[in-house]
Amino acid sequence: MTQNPFGQNQSQGQGQTHQNMHTGAVPQNMNHGGHELFDVHEVLSQSIAAMDQSTLLRQQAKDPELIDIMDRQYRFMRQEYNTLVDCFKSGQDPQVPTQSYKMAGGNDFVYGMKQSQPKKPMMSPQELDDAAISGFLLGSAKASATAKTAAALETTNPVVRRVLADSVPNCIEMAYELSIYQNKHHYYQVPQLAETDMQAILNAYAPATGNQPGMQ
């Protein structure tokens, strides 16, 4: 029999693989598929990048309201990152379960477009302002929601899948909070359709009624 580098002979290794394929009997910390490993790696890397970006931008922010949002979101992201690392490495329930992020302010949007200066890329670091900083953070929150959704759809470990899925609404909540902040300060304007067009779309669908075909 041929010895492999891991101390098992080739026949034993093949037998173990055969058993795992049929019974799924693998250790909890090895209960991960290939796509899952790559996608969660991307999620964790993106989470680190988002926190690093927040750390770099924190000293440049001027508005106390924006600074408060940044601090609260950073603390939440850090704990959520640790929770995902915990269950990803162990394959079991994390010591600190996923929490729910709550915005501190209201959710009122100002609708309509006002004339403003066209936006363009910065020409120097001195142009960095609260509008740009909040935009960077908003982009990170949206990217996290997309990455975690994609990873959850590819994850085989049930605990990791649940942690990823439960964290997606938190990314959405953080993005929503940042978009409200931008809207309030006129950094982000929200157009609306004409009332007749809006009503036409709102009334374009009706509730489903009756039973499924073939069922009593």
pLDDT at 215 over 80: no
> Which pLDDT band holds residue 140 (cuts at 50, 70, 90)?
very high
More confident of the two residues 13 and 79: 79
More confident of the two residues 28 and 141: 141
| Distance of alpha carbon 85 from alpha carbon 160, whole angstroms | 9
> Which pLDDT band holds residue 52 (cuts at 50, 70, 90)?
very high
Please compute the mean of the pLDDT values over residues 104-130 and round it to a whole number.
Answer: 89
What are residue 105's phi and psi, to 5 degrees?
-105, -165
37: left (phi over 0), alpha (psi -120 to 50) or beta: alpha
pLDDT at 1 over 60: no
More confident of the two residues 20 and 132: 132
| Distance of alpha carbon 175 from alpha carbon 142, whole angstroms | 6
Q: Which of 162, 148, 155 is nearest to 47 (CA)?
A: 148
| Distance of alpha carbon 39 from alpha carbon 153, whole angstroms | 10
pLDDT score of 139: 97
Domains and CATH numbers, the chain: 31-114+126-194 (1.20.1260)
Tell me the Cα Rg of the chain. Answer: 24
Averaged pLDDT of the chain: 87
pTM of the model: 0.83
pLDDT score of 216: 62
Per-residue pLDDT of 10-45, as tens digits, reads: 444 444 444 454 445 666 667 777 888 999 999 999
pLDDT score of 22: 44
pLDDT score of 26: 63
Per-residue pLDDT of 147-199, as tens digits, reads: 999 999 999 999 999 999 999 999 999 999 999 999 999 999 999 999 999 99
Please compute the mean of the pLDDT values over residues 201-208 and round it to a whole number.
Answer: 94
pLDDT score of 7: 47
